[in-house]
Amino acid sequence: MKPPPFSYHDPETLEQAVELLATLDNAKALAGGQSLMPMLNMRFVLPDHVVDLNRVSELSGIRRNGQTIEIGAMTRQRDLEFSSEIATACPLMSEALTHVGHRQTRNRGTIGGSLCHLDPAAELVCVAAALDAVVEVVGPNGRREIPFAEFPAGYMSPAIDFTELVSRVTFPVWPRETGHAFVEFSRRHGDFAIVSAAAMLLLDGAGRVSRAVLALGGVGAVPLRMHDVEAALIGQAPTAELIRRVSETCRTVEAVGDVYVPASYRQHLACVMSRRALETALSRADRSAAAA
């Protein structure tokens, strides 16, 4: 179980990295290595060139910018986990990170790597879907921004060209009064979720839902936004009964099945996890502030 032969490149600037990806044939970008390296060791991927992004320092960093928070693609999951900026501006991500892998993998794994790998069960992918993150990519033709809803082209395939690199991910900051919740069902701590749910609820002065988000990871081939559920909540008083009822509609989502988990079980979990996420988010939503 050893990596196949390849040539190795370790550019120091984004420009060099983009240049390399644009000119080399069959090149793979190496970020934190927590997904690519196992695939190399198992020879599931056979690149001629590996372009290592770990020396490109401009790709790392967390920056609050008014109502958004910008995260460099090579920012390590550990740095997000310990960032007070993230904890205040994006608590959903902080909570999701407690489910991401293990301390050794978070020390190396990056947000950009996770999004590009685009495992539908990955926590950060679900968070990006929930929060309508904006992915900035850089390629030979310069920069462009992709709303996350358009980022997945299919199962584990981002809608970017192989000459392009994700450079930055921008998350909107929700009001402090928002209730958030990230819950997941996995067999063991740190395993990929079988189903995860991310919810955000904001209440208006009358205690009705003014903004709502529900995203599901692990259910389908790509992370799912439950727009119907969101619409059904908005303007309503979020009673336990309502939450139960809207969550139950998730039973009809299109789900993938495999030898370990039948699709019907994923659909079942989609309901359970949705309800739990919405309930927790509601319990955390600040009614008094909204009322004030």
Give the interface with another protein as residue ranges (CB under 8 A): 1-8, 10, 30, 33-34, 37-38, 40-43, 50, 52, 54, 78, 101-105, 107-108, 185, 187-192, 259-262, 265, 268-269, 272
Minimum CB–partner distance for residue 148 and another protein (Å): 26
Torsion angle defined by CA atoms of residues 6, 10, 16 and 18, in that order, rounded to the nearest 10 degrees: 50
Q: 41 is written with which tokens?
A: 């060791």
Output the smallest distance, CB 146 to another protein, in A: 28
- In the bound state with another protein, the residue whose beta carbon lies nearer, of 139 and 190, is 190
Tell me the backbone φ, ψ of residue 210, rounded to 5 degrees. -100, -35
Report which secondary-structure segment, H or E, holds 125.
helix 123-130
Q: Which helix (H) or strand (E) holds 14?
A: helix 14-23
Q: Please, what is the minimum distance in Å from the beta carbon of residue 9 to another protein? A: 9
- Furthest-apart CA pair in the chain: how many Å? 64
Nearer to another protein, 3 or 139 (CB): 3
- The least CB distance from residue 214 to another protein, in Å, is 18
Please check whether residue 200 is in contact with residue 211, taking contact to mean a CB–CB distance below 8 angstroms: yes
Instruction: Pick the closer one to another protein by CB: 40 or 116.
Output: 40
Residue 195 CB, shortest distance to another protein, in Å, is 9
**Angstrom distances, CA of residue 39 to CA of 2, 81, 104:** 10, 26, 18
Rank residues 221 and 272 by Cβ distance to another protein and give the closer one: 272
Nearer to another protein, 23 or 67 (CB): 23
